[in-house]
Structure 1
Amino acid sequence: MLQQIYGTDDVTPYWIADMDFPIASPITNVMQQLVNRELYSYEFDSQTVFEAISTWNKERHNLDLKPEHFVQVPGVLSAIAMLIRDFTHEGDGILIQTPVYHQFRRLIESAGRQVINNPLKIEGDQYVIDFEDYEEQLKSGNIAMILLCNPHNPVGRVWTKSELQKLVSIAKKYNTTIISDEVHGDIIFDGARFTSIASLDYNNSLTIIGSPAKNFGLNSISNGYIYSDNQMLREKIRATSSSMSLDHANAVTMYATIAAYQHGQEWFDGFLNYTQTTRNWIVDFMAKQLPQVKTFSPQGTNQIWFDFSGLGLKPKQLKALLTLEAKIALTPGTWFGEEDENFYRMNFASPLEKVQASLQLLKSKVG
């Protein structure tokens, strides 16, 4: 894939939002116990899974979630795909706030719906929601759903409570469903505070919350968990999931999820502290050593967003600098709907020494 995307595999990859660390030992231990028992039976202890997620969110975010209000689905992307099909019709418009996780567009278009962009604005050193455009889009009557990303991937914003309240109040005005992707909701750095849509008492909303993928490095074995206090919405997605026999987990996923949320807090706190240190180093290094590159310091997520336009390079020259000379594989901003080819995203959930070596090599090539 590196050869296909970057034209070389002689690069250090920072392009996928996976962590580059061994997972927490409580998860490894419980999976090893599962292997040692030599039995993989039909089993899904949904009550324990949902209680573990609820307890975790109460302790970390003071968020009160009712375990019985969760619906389990195979994964985050399948959750979004099901919600799009259940709560919109072919041809409907679904609003996204670009630049945003590129799979949103694919899921919308593959379902025969229209992507409606509400581009974020840059104010100073961070991105903000363009509420004037947002309301104009909803006022048009063409928007059936808002697909929100909080914390926002790739720009790293953690939307404030007041921003989310404004977003919800406008959605209420036009009776528009909000789907909030909150899978990065625990990766929050000092100075920011996470607010879930589930805490804002909007009856026409569903939240994708509780996937251990990003927190614990379980990307390929994690489920997705949809939450809503609206019984009608919840029962509809539960019926869809059940009708396709997607409402059950496998033993590995179940035990890993329970172990993560019940016993992974110490490990996760260490991971969060480590990646915050890495973020701080990147921001400081870029400001002092590569000030031509605009760096958007993330409030959350392990993704950092760069604008390389200050280097004055053409797109092909910039790609060659990054991949062939500095030997780093970043994610092109165009994947996220950013029209300017000078923007790239970097996943920094990697050993600090590796990140330092990569950016120091980049500095040496820029001169």
Structure 2
Amino acid sequence: MIRIRTGEVVDVLSRYPGLTEVLVRVEGKEERAVNYDQLTGPVKPGDAVVLNTTAVYKKLGTGGTHFIMANLANPALDAPRQGHIMKARYTPSQVKVLAVEEEEHPQNHCFRAADSLDGIPVIIASLHSMIAPAAAVIRRLTRGKARVVYLMTDGAALPLPLSRLVYQLKEKGLLSATVTCGHAFGGDYEAVTVYSGLLAARSVAGADIIIAAMGPGIVGTASTFGFTGLEQGELVNAVHILKGQPVAVPRISFADARERHRGLSHHTRTALGRVALVPCTVPIPVLAQEKHALVWRQLQESGILDRHRVIVVENNPTREALQECGLAVTTMGRGIDEDPEFFLAAGAAGAYAAGLFLKTNAVSEGKP
């Protein structure tokens, strides 16, 4: 069930493309709420709104805010005429998009002509926060020459505008374009499946490197298969099928108090050790001796060492790249100083992908 209440917009706190954060008066309190402009139109102070208050009532972390379901000041809204694909289908919030697969899309001919990723690297991350260090390192090592496109899956948040991180990365030029696939929506390009999303990132958005990951808010249940990060293994399979080079970001941490996430997270061990059916490259950052020994043992026991190509990346300027770009990224409230291995692992994937790009470019330019 949805917990529904009515409220009034008191103030507009911030605006981002596709999203307005407001202060609402609801049940005698003033609290934050999110308005997705693509779903419910513009919002302003004084508007009477209908709110989904479930997350705040349940005291959730990610997603713990009110969401505007309808703006009673704008009871009638019209969707754009173009497009026939519905996302969040058969829910009251289903949204119509113009997907690259549709003939009326202006770049459909580019999409239709593509059936391969042409061997480009695809960084596959299991957490949204991993995309920043990977993109920052790519920017630093390629000097901005690589066109990086973010493919957002529907494993977590569905609306891309919720991610302030993606907004920052685009503003700073670290991401050239975004593609939302499955039920995720709000990207520069919309796609129906992970496969068509990957092809759109390459053929329509012109990616040299793709970073594929869910949006904010992974779902986990402390069980082997009950977490949405499992999609990492499925994405490895998809990239392989489409003739790309899958590069998987391992989730490594020595700051997480939960034993199942110590060293190499059980998320990575399951996704890459059991779900991924084809080989990929797993870059590992340089670690202190005891930490390296634990992670290597976990890689062995999970079968990842036997199934995939695990490499240690020594040229890994993650900390410098994040500072250079002015990015203060956190995971579970921890930054790079509190949880360095987590960010270094994502940066290592970026460094490896950047190396592949630079090698390909050198060959195409006839350099030795």
TM-score for the superposition, normalised by structure 2 = 0.29
Structure richer in helix, relative to its length: 1
TM-score for the superposition, normalised by structure 1 = 0.29
Structure richer in strand, relative to its length: 2
